[in-house]
Amino acid sequence: MTHTAQQTSTAANWLLYDGECPFCSSYVSFVRLREAIGPIMLADARQHPALVAESRALGYDIDVGMVLKLDGRYYFGGDCIHALSLLTTPSGIFNRLNRVLFRSKRISRLAYPVLRTGRNLALIVLGRRRIGATSMPVVTAKAGVHKSGSRPSPG
């Protein structure tokens, strides 16, 4: 689910993902983030170039990982799925499994490259391009948290 580009600049909290990746889209729809934390924009990176540019300015490549901006803090890749696992509701089998698998930051960081490989293979099989293949040069970053505000991390 995405919102209009006009909402991009006013949304305080957002999750940036690849909307053409079936795994990414399914993950975002199943995670039930709005039930747990309230208003958040679920943003398909292909429809929100301003958020992609904001992420890239911080060194985060959307082709390498999802980006969560929550209360002025940015979570990328493995740290993003770790934060999401701590934020989601315990309702539903998917969220319980997500919490068990990714509640450890270390496991999240180790598992994320495997998940990203699955995404890349899915894009190839489906004949879809990576986001960086159709836009500006790509900057990569390691998994991490970038603090631009002073609020504590989730959990």
85/154 Cα distance (integer angstroms): 10
- Say if CB 41 and CB 12 are below 8 A apart: no
102/115 Cα distance (integer angstroms): 12
Residue with the larger pLDDT of the pair 139 and 90:
90
Q: Residue 88 above 90 pLDDT?
A: no
Q: Tell me what percent of the residues of the chain surpass a pLDDT of 90.
A: 23
Residue with the larger pLDDT of the pair 109 and 30:
109
**How confident is the model at residue 73, as a pLDDT?**
92
**How confident is the model at residue 23, as a pLDDT?**
84
DSSP 135: S
**pTM (two decimals):** 0.71
Q: If DSSP codes are grouped into helix, strand and coil, which group holds residue 117?
A: helix
Residue with the larger pLDDT of the pair 51 and 115:
51
Q: Which residues pair with 43 in a beta bridge?
A: 16
The residue ranges of every structural domain in the chain are: 5-147
**How confident is the model at residue 136, as a pLDDT?**
39
58/6 Cα distance (integer angstroms): 22
**How confident is the model at residue 87, as a pLDDT?**
84
Full DSSP string of 20-84: T-HHHHHHHHHS-HHHHHS--EEEETTT-HHHHHHHHHTT--TTT--EEEETTEEEETHHHHHHH
**How confident is the model at residue 90, as a pLDDT?**
73
Kindly report, residue by residue over 15-65, the tens digit of the pLDDT: 999 988 888 888 887 777 766 677 888 899 999 999 999 999 999 998 888
Kindly report, residue by residue over 132-154, the tens digit of the pLDDT: 764 433 334 444 555 444 333 44
Mean pLDDT of the chain: 76
**How confident is the model at residue 67, as a pLDDT?**
95
Handedness of CA 80, 86, 92, 97 (dihedral sign): positive
